[in-house]
Amino acid sequence: MLNKLVCLADTVSQYTGRCVAWLTLMMMLLTCLIVLLRYGFDIGSIAIQESVLYLHALVFMLGAAYTFKDDEHVRVDVFYREFSTSKKAWVNIIGGVFLLLPFTLYTAYLSIDYVSASWRVLETSAEPGGLPFVYLLKTLIPMMMVSLIIQGVADIVKNIGIINAVKSAKRT
């Protein structure tokens, strides 16, 4: 049962990560359009500029669990890279239980009022001509935390399995 849940979490993170990766192409194309319009035709557009910002937020915040799943996140691994598989698993479990989960749970909790206030007024950009979707942008905060919590729990379960497999291999 736990393996199925881990596989489901991994699959969702993988799919989400691959989908948002395509948004980087859109960001690049929009950035080129902004430069062309600004310097080629002397036309500026706050909405297009903000759309690049929104896409960047989508890539970063919805891609975080995918990055974590593939162990591509930032890690100070001065010692970690030399650890055995079992020690790495222990570091991952301890880091997940005592760092990742408390941080993400607390941030998710703190973001509830912040996002709710934005949704109550359907917050829009403070810039004239900006996008009217700030409330959607702020919604990415709890979404990121939930996806990291799910992927973090899946990672903890995977690493418990690694430790159990190492123990079983030593017994035989």
pLDDT at 75: 73
pLDDT recorded at residue 50: 96
- pLDDT at position 85: 92
* Percent of the chain's residues with pLDDT above 70: 99
Give the tens place of pLDDT for each residue, 39-55.
999 999 999 999 999 99
Mean pLDDT of 140-158: 96
Q: At CB < 8 A and 24+ separation, what contacts does 39-47 make?
A: 45/129, 46/125, 46/127, 46/128, 46/129, 46/130, 47/129, 47/130, 47/131
pLDDT number for residue 19: 93
Rounded-to-integer distance, Cα 135 and Cα 126, Å: 12
Q: What is the pLDDT of residues 75-89, one digit of tens each?
A: 777 788 888 999 999
Question: C-alpha angle 137/108/47, rounded to 5°?
Answer: 5
Where do the structural domains in the chain lie, given as residue ranges? 2-171
Global pTM value: 0.89
